[in-house]
Homo-oligomer: A and B are copies of this chain.
Amino acid sequence: MAENNFTEIAIKAKCASKKIASISGELKNLALINIADNIENNSQKIFDANRIDLEQAQILVQKGELTKSTFNRLKLDENKMRDMVQGIRDIIALDNPIGKVLLKRELDEGLVLTKVSCPIGVLGIIFEARPDVIAQISALAIKSANAVILKGGKESLNTNKAIMSVIQDGLNKTPGFPENVLTQVFTRDDVAEMLKQDKYIDLIIPRGGNNLVKFIKENTKIPVLGHADGICHIYIDESADFEKAKKVVTDAKTQYPSACNSVETLLVHKNWGRKKELTDALEQNGIKIIYNPESWHKEYSDKILSYKEVDSLEDAISHINEYSSGHTESIITENEHNAKIFMDSVDSSGVYHNVSTRFADGFRYGFGAEVGISTNKTHARGPVGLEGLTIYKYNIEGNGHIVKDYAEGKKQFHHRDL
Contact = CB atoms under 8 A, between A and B. Distances in A.
B397 A353 contact: yes
Give 4 nearest A-B pairs by CB, closest first: A251-B402, A355-B398, A244-B400, A366-B415
B353 A398 contact: yes
B377 A121 contact: yes
Contacts of A376: 223
A248 B383 CA distance: 44
Interface size for chain A: under 10, 10 to 19, 20 to 34, or 35 or more residues?
A: 35 or more
Nearest to A342: B395
B395 A353 contact: yes
Interface in A86-111: 105, 107, 111
A202 B365 contact: no
A111 B404 CA distance: 55
A170 B206 CA distance: 45
Interface string A10-34: 0000000010011000000000000
Nearest to A377: B202
Given A377-B203, A393-B381, A403 B349 contact: no
Contacts of A321: 18
A50 interface: no
Interface in A367-409: 376-383, 391-404, 406-407
A63 to B, nearest CB: 33
A89 B155 CA distance: 60
A78 interface: no
Interface in A337-371: 339, 341, 343-345, 347-356, 358-360, 364-366
A298 interface: no
Contact of A223 (B223, B354, B406): B223
B248 A107 contact: no
Contacts of A121: 347, 377
A13 to B, nearest CB: 13
A294 interface: no
A413 interface: yes
A349 B250 CA distance: 48
A255 interface: yes
A378 B251 contact: no
Contact of A413 (B225, B366, B413): B366
A393 B351 contact: yes
A174 to B, nearest CB: 20
Nearest to A388: B378
Given A18-B345, A355-B397, A356-B402, 15 more contacts: A18-B347, A105-B365, A113-B366, A243-B400, A347-B393, A349-B394, A350-B394, A352-B396, A353-B395, A353-B397, A354-B400, A359-B401, A382-B392, A382-B393, A382-B394
Nearest to A344: B22
A106 B340 CA distance: 18
A402 B245 CA distance: 11
Contact of A107 (B341, B365, B403): B365
Given A203-B377, A381-B393, A407 B255 contact: yes
A247 interface: yes
B359 A403 contact: yes
A241 interface: yes
A350 B396 contact: yes
Contacts of A379: 223, 378-379, 391
B366 A248 contact: no
A355 B391 CA distance: 23
Contact of A399 (B221, B341, B354, B364): B354
A251 B408 CA distance: 12
A413 B349 contact: no
B378 A378 contact: yes
B366 A107 contact: yes
A217 interface: yes
A282 interface: no
